[in-house]
Amino acid sequence: MKDVRVLLIDDEVDYTAALAKRLDRRGLSIRTAAGGRQALESLREEPCDVILLDIKMPGMDGIKTLGEIKQLHPEVEVVMLTAHANTEIVISSLAMGAYDYLMKPVNVDELVRKIEDAAMRRKSNSR
């Protein structure tokens, strides 16, 4: 799965580093960003296939970041990550084009399956 490029966006630096390391061990190509603005800069420099996006972040939150990503890169699949089960926010993110969402802490096997599914959807939509 090294051909699947994943961008992990989360302001919790230790969590991001640990999750990135676990996903890298599973054969994914992982980049990280500490927030929405940094993620948008990263996407300008290098595109990706799947984004893992935390909802609760200071400054530019996940919903605002999702809107910007979908405006600039509508083909990218986004999986929202949240530690707070807020049904309205989840429904809103799905309506804005998020592929799916997972609750933190995430089960890495489930997350890898979700990334694979999102990457396959992106590839089938780009044909």
Domains assigned to the chain: 5-122 (3.40.50.2300)
Is-above-0.75 flag for pTM? yes
Q: What is the pLDDT of residue 2?
A: 65
State the residue for tokens 């605002």.
64
Tens digit of each residue's pLDDT (9 = 90 or more) over 2-60: 689 999 999 999 999 999 999 999 999 999 999 999 999 999 999 999 999 999 999 99
Helices 108-125 and 13-25: crossing angle in degrees, nearest 10, is: 70
| Listed range (33-42, 84-93, 110-119) with the worst mean pLDDT | 84-93
Question: What does the block give as tokens for 55?
Answer: 């909802």
